[in-house]
Amino acid sequence: MKTVYVTRRESFSASHRLFNPALSDDENIRLFDKCASPNGHGHNYELEVTVAGEPGRETGYVIDLKKLKQIIRGEIISKVDHKHLNYDVEFLRGINPTAENLVVAFWHVLASKISEGRLYSVRLRETENNVVECRGEE
Ligand code: NI
């Protein structure tokens, strides 16, 4: 059997501020530039979640995309859409919300919820040209 990769795309809008509280204001501005501005800024994010596996004998599915959609919306989108990622999201508490840190956090949320196939990658497009991807422990 061949491994097949199934991807669901979802979108959300959120604000964030890149800021490391362990560093001084000057160091934060040097590292994060205008992304550290005190009141934050927003992005229209696109999230792609890929599940890998063999198509089921009976269903022909790796995972029912309806179920994958429900998991992503229920566990991630409903909690981050139109929120401030530094303050409003329980599972992001204490995390500096770079795209890198977001995909790792999203991975941890999703990994245990996907029971058909296996979570293969979580990709986050933060701007037209910037995309970050997590493939777990790989
Ligand atoms: Ni940003």
CATH code for position 119 = 3.30.479.10
Catalytic residue from among 35, 43, 75, 133: 35
126 is catalytic: yes
Cα(41) to centroid(ligand 1), Å: 6
> Are 55 and 12 contacting, i.e. CB atoms less than 8 angstroms apart?
no
> Are 109 and 77 contacting, i.e. CB atoms less than 8 angstroms apart?
no
What percent of the chain is predicted at pLDDT more than 70?
A: 99
Domain range for 85: 4-135
CA angle 85, 34, 19 (to 5 degrees): 45
Q: What is the pLDDT of residue 1?
A: 76
Cα(94) to centroid(ligand 1), Å: 17
pLDDT tens, position by position, 27-42: 999 999 999 999 999 9
CA angle 58, 72, 113 (to 5 degrees): 65
What is the residue type of 105?
Answer: A
Q: What is the pLDDT of residue 69?
A: 98
Residue 138 has pLDDT above 90, yes or no: no
Cα(19) to centroid(ligand 1), Å: 11
Number of domains in the chain: 1
Residue 24 has pLDDT above 90, yes or no: yes
State the chain's mean pLDDT as an integer: 96
Instruction: With cut-offs at 50, 70 and 90, classify the pLDDT of residue 136.
Output: confident
Residue 71 has pLDDT above 80, yes or no: yes
